Amino acid sequence: MNTNTEKEREELIELFGIHFESVYNMAPLCSRILGLLIVEAYKDGLTFEQIVEKMGASKSSVSTNLNFLLKIGKIDYYTLHGDRKKYFRPPPFSERFTNYLKILEFENKIIDKMIFYREKTMSSPEERMNMEHAKAYKSHIIKVEELVKETITEIIEIEKVNNKS
* pLDDT tens column, 40-50: 977 789 999 99
| Residue 7 sits in the same domain as residue 84 | yes
Domain containing residue 60:
3-89
| Residue 11 sits in the same domain as residue 64 | yes
Question: Could you give the number of structural domains in the chain?
Answer: 2
Determine the average pLDDT of the residues in 48-61.
96
| Residue 68 sits in the same domain as residue 104 | no
pTM of this prediction exceeds 0.95 = no
Q: Residue 108: its pLDDT value, please?
A: 95
Q: What is the CATH number of the domain that holds 66?
A: 1.10.10.10
| Residue 7 sits in the same domain as residue 83 | yes
Q: Residue 95: its pLDDT value, please?
A: 85
Residue 96 has pLDDT above 90, yes or no: no
Cβ neighbours of residue 95 closer than 8 Å, sequence gap 6 or more: none
pLDDT single digits (tens) 102-142: 999 999 999 999 999 999 998 999 989 999 999 999 999 99
